[in-house]
Structure 1
Amino acid sequence: MIWFVYGIFCCFKLLLVPAYRSTDFEVHRNWLAITHSLPLSKWYSDQTSQWTLDYPPLFAWFEFLLSQVAALFDPGMLRVDNLEYASTRTVLFQRLSVIITDAMLAFGTKECCAYIRASGVRKSSRWTLTWGSPTSVLALLILGNAGLLIVDHIHFQYNGFLFGVLLVSIAKMLQGKFLSSALWFSVLLNLKHIFLYVAPAYGVYLLRNYCLQDPQGPDAKGLWIFGGKQLSISRISKLIGIGGFVCFASFGPFIVMGQFGQVLSRLFPFKRGLCHAYWAPNFWALYNSVDKIAVIVGKRLGLPIAASAAAMTGGLVQEFEHTMLPSISPKVTFICTLVAMLPALIKLWLSPANPLHFVRCIVLCAFSSFMFGWHVHEKAVLLMIIPLSLLAVLWRKEAQIYLLLSTIGNYSLTPLLFTPLEIPLKGLLVLCHAIYAFVQLHQMFNLQKGSLLRLPLLSRLETLYTLGLMPLFVYQHILHRLLFADALPFLPLLLTSVYCAVGITYCWVTFYWHFLFSGNHKRKVH
């Protein structure tokens, strides 16, 4: 079933080959050229292009492997000085590379579906579907996710491949295969360091469920006793060994060459500023907006306001100082993120018997990092949506939150596509995914007929907010130009970011409350 769905979506993705391509297309072409044509010592120091290599070394090796095949399509794409090169064969190869490596996403989905079928997990109500099964719904929700289609197969990135690795790691953890899960996650961190967002959930769950053992157990020789359990030196050593082996395989050559600091400076460029050019719809988008409104009000009241205060709405990737509110530093965002994660991590520590709490904690760690992190990209919203898909087919409340979050989150990615030909396409992708999710999840939980005044599983207020995305879409693409022509070009992005930030913040608070205080999901999974 999974591979059939994967094949169907591959056919659809082939139709997107000629679609709009962002600068990320040139970014990855340049990385192909760097890893293929330059010696290892220059991979993280070359500056021929402004799109320098800034992913962990394991991803650089992934690009190196792709470049061996790319040479068979068009060697011209592998010249470092061939900037903005985009021959027909180059486009075809890069598009195909994303489509084919999405097989990892299918494999990760397959592993999660296998867990659902074999685990005997209990639900709050019977599954009732007109056709298919919960696992087939999960496959379509993930493999057909509108956000992934927009970001990977139009905008251009390899997120599907990376999320596939994450799903395999999650599935192994749910199956109790702790070392296998740790290995997959170590590989993932060395492919893209954004997944550090969810690393605390792995650390707490592995420590609580794998490293703490009964004193009489075979691996129980340890350091100290906690709640009747002993910290196993043997098991901690195994985890450290796995993580150390993967990290050394990834970073080792650069450490030997004395370039470890150079690699780290590429991975963590803190001078990029608090927000991305298009503000991710998080707490800082709301914070920036309050500051901007305060500036406008202050000027109306005759207060002395610096003339540079409007710069933060110019869409530039740079550091800026807030005017009316305190300016935010990377240290502040780190503290806010850590504080936001702590309740979820504590809950996970206190309830080790339920492996699905691990998935919930992953979602909340991703949520906290998205809401309060430094220079968060809008694409990071997928880090909450994809794992939440697994919970959405198990519990009604999480299905409700998923419907709201996936619709808002996928919509928040539509500004990445701004060319006229892609406007109807991106709208249809988000709409079709939302309709499928609402219809199938509504049927799945055997609900009575919904009211005409609200969407399935949502309240009237949630329905009103969700439907508000439609007039926002019309304003963004039609009304703004009619009203302002070429003036205020950043306003549609600002409105989209702030509107979506309100909904995503609501989803974060609602899901957190559900995780911490709801009793519906306390039943054990066998």
Structure 2
Amino acid sequence: MELKKKPTKKDNFVFLFKGSPLNDFLYPFKKAANQWVARYIIVTFAIIIRCAVGLGSYSGENQPPNFGDFEYNRHYMEIVTSLPLYQWYLQDLGNSNFMLKFPPLYAYHSFIWGIIGKLINKSWFELNNSIGCQDIDLKSFMRITVLFSELIAYIPSVIIYTRWMGRHYNKAPSIDQTIIAATILFLPDLAIIDHGHFQYNSFLLGIALIALNNLLYDNLALASIFFTLSICFNPMILYYSPIFFFYLLSLCFVPKFNLIRLIYIGVSVLLTFIVIFLPFIYSGGIQLLSHILYTTFPLNFNILHQSYPNFWSMTNHLLNNNIDLSNLKNLSIILTILAISPSCYAIFTNTSKRLLPWCLASCSLSFFLFSFLIDETSVLLPWMPVTLLLNEVDADVISMICWFFNTCLFSLMPLLKKDGLLLQYFVLGVLSNWLMGNLSWVRKFVNIIIPFISQRPNATPVLPHSYSWTATIISFYVTATIILSCDLLQIQPLVEIENFWEISNTFLSTISFGIFYVWLNFKIYTIHSLKAKSD
């Protein structure tokens, strides 16, 4: 009697993607000598999706006098290419909304694209004369700057990360590494915000991911340099800083103190900051440096300014906008520290590279839920490390992650609605779920009506095996559908309730994020415990 071959870890990994359209599309490349052709194809399709999103409207289009993020970034390019360096952070045209408010690396990034833009058309960046410019060629140029920024930093970093995980962790074949990378790149959240709403989050997340990739390859100095660069691009990346700090600190002190390693990590960080800020110190002295730090690392954010999907906004609505602001910042700091403590402890006591994305996801989600340093799109910061968890060989993990992706997209709905990006929202939301196989359940219902129409195996289940988690996720989808229907169909009398849409979105998203945070920390505890027992 022939013994059946015991399923291997690799077999389990491949099974997670069988039956999905993305797997069907890319698996013919399995026999190729290398996967570069498949990678070129997924990058090409990712570019096509982003260009299609870019055909739509953007933040602040036809909305004077402040316009939106598109105009802010165009104006930043105008400032840095028209004024001497020491005036970059001092010029605001009498409106603080137009003042350069990002760290120097962001300014250098704007300078490079502004110089290129002026070579094409100087009128796009004429100081004091081009505010609100909505030339169609300018729109195309600005869209291209985001696209190239993503191609430089984020897309290669995703491919490198999935290749490392495939080779060193889950032992996945090259084609499966490519499928994972494609899944991440085809997710709608980042694409709609950067190429629709208009921001440079992909460049920021790309630099941070480069730092993480260097940690995987034990290039600690390079990891420190790139993470410092990401801070010098946008201070919101500090959501990740506790995990990077405790991971590197553990490597310097456990199992024994390594002075040399500590010194070159510290020197790498210090020299990076000096190189980035030195031109401003040279041109304006310490006074200008202090002004830049105060302007670009704000500590006075109003976390109740809008209906963000976080704990404070939900609490404020529960208290009927009567939350006490006097000690809110201190309370926010305390709760944030408590929330990030489990992930910080886990990564300090167990420097397993598998734990890195888990801890980054938990830590950044803690900041998003409880800190005062937040804006409308900062959900992308916990979103990025969660995308990296698609490399896990566990159907239940994939199901939970897909729920998180849909929750993130749902939480962005009010912003995208304001920007006129509902078409992109629905099309990319359905497309990404279909590509991952999350809509394969539809085939089951079709088979009931028309038996044997398809005998293909289903892809990764959209729901986990646990009944409690299944009930939680189904409850989310049902409630989200009701809220969307009420808003889009203008169902009375709910639409007459002031801010019904924003408040209901805030409550459902915040509660879902909170539940996901609990699940993340349970998984971190499990992985941490298994590692401790094996040691």
For the criterion TM > 0.5, the same-fold answer is: yes
Supply the distance in 2 between the matched residues of 1:75 and 1:45 (Cα, whole angstroms).
Answer: 22
Distance 1:190 1:419, change over 3 A: closer
Local SS of the residue matching 1:378? coil
CA contact (8 A) 2:189 2:380 kept: yes
Aligned to 1:79: 126
Aligned to 1:65: 112
The one of 375, 378, 383 equivalent to 1:377 is 375
Distance 1:456 1:434, change over 3 A: farther
Identity within the alignment, %: 19
The one of 219, 237, 241 equivalent to 1:195 is 237
Distance 1:451 1:110, change over 3 A: closer
Supply the distance in 2 between the matched residues of 1:11 and 1:197 (Cα, whole angstroms).
Answer: 31
CA contact (8 A) 1:385 1:402 kept: no
TM-superposition CA deviations, 1:143-195 (whole Å, max 9, x none): 12211121111100011122121222112211222222112111111111111
- Residues 221-260 of structure 1: matches in 2 within 5 Å? 229-230=256-257, 232-256=258-282, 257=284, 258-260=287-289
The one of 241, 257, 281 equivalent to 2:309 is 281
Aligned to 2:488: 477
Q: TM-score, normalised by structure 1?
A: 0.81
The total of aligned residue pairs comes to: 464
The one of 74, 95, 99 equivalent to 1:29 is 74
CA contact (8 A) 1:270 1:330 kept: no
Supply the distance in 1 between the matched residues of 2:530 and 2:145 (Cα, whole angstroms).
Answer: 40
**Aligned CA-pair RMSD:** 2.9
Aligned to 2:90: 45
- Residues 449-464 of structure 1: matches in 2 within 5 Å? 455=463, 459-464=470-475
Distance 1:243 1:263, change over 3 A: same
Supply the distance in 2 between the matched residues of 1:395 and 1:261 (Cα, whole angstroms).
Answer: 48
- Residues 69-468 of structure 1: matches in 2 within 5 Å? 69-81=116-128, 82-103=130-151, 104-121=153-170, 133-209=175-251, 211-212=252-253, 229-230=256-257, 232-256=258-282, 257=284, 258-277=287-306, 279-292=307-320, 312=321, 322-323=322-323, 328-352=327-351, 354-396=352-394, 397-418=396-417, 422-439=421-438, 455=463, 459-468=470-479
Distance 1:185 1:450, change over 3 A: closer
Distance 1:259 1:451, change over 3 A: closer
Local SS of the residue matching 1:479? coil
CA contact (8 A) 1:108 1:166 kept: no
Distance 1:376 1:32, change over 3 A: same
TM-superposition CA deviations, 1:374-428 (whole Å, max 9, x none): 0522311111122122222214243233112111012211211225963233122
Distance 1:17 1:335, change over 3 A: same
Local SS of the residue matching 2:531? coil
Q: TM-score, normalised by structure 2?
A: 0.80
AA in 1 matched with 2:160: E
AA in 1 matched with 2:515: Y
Supply the distance in 2 between the matched residues of 1:419 and 1:193 (Cα, whole angstroms).
Answer: 26
CA contact (8 A) 1:137 1:393 kept: no
TM-superposition CA deviations, 1:244-266 (whole Å, max 9, x none): 11111222222341311211221
CA contact (8 A) 1:333 1:374 kept: yes
Please list every run of at least 4 consecutive aligned residues from structure 1 whose deviation after the TM superposition is greater than 4 angstroms: 325-328, 448-452, 518-521
Local SS of the residue matching 1:207? helix
In structure 2, list runs of 5 or more residues that go unmatched: 1-37, 60-67, 442-456
CA-CA distance at 1:366 after TM superposition: 0.3
CA-CA distance at 1:33 after TM superposition: 0.2
Select between 28-37 and 366-375 the one with higher mean Cα deviation. Answer: 366-375
Distance 1:184 1:420, change over 3 A: closer
Supply the distance in 1 between the matched residues of 2:510 and 2:358 (Cα, whole angstroms).
Answer: 21
AA in 1 matched with 2:510: A
CA-CA distance at 1:83 after TM superposition: 1.1
AA in 1 matched with 2:430: L
CA contact (8 A) 1:137 1:440 kept: no
CA-CA distance at 1:468 after TM superposition: 2.5
CA contact (8 A) 2:190 2:201 kept: yes
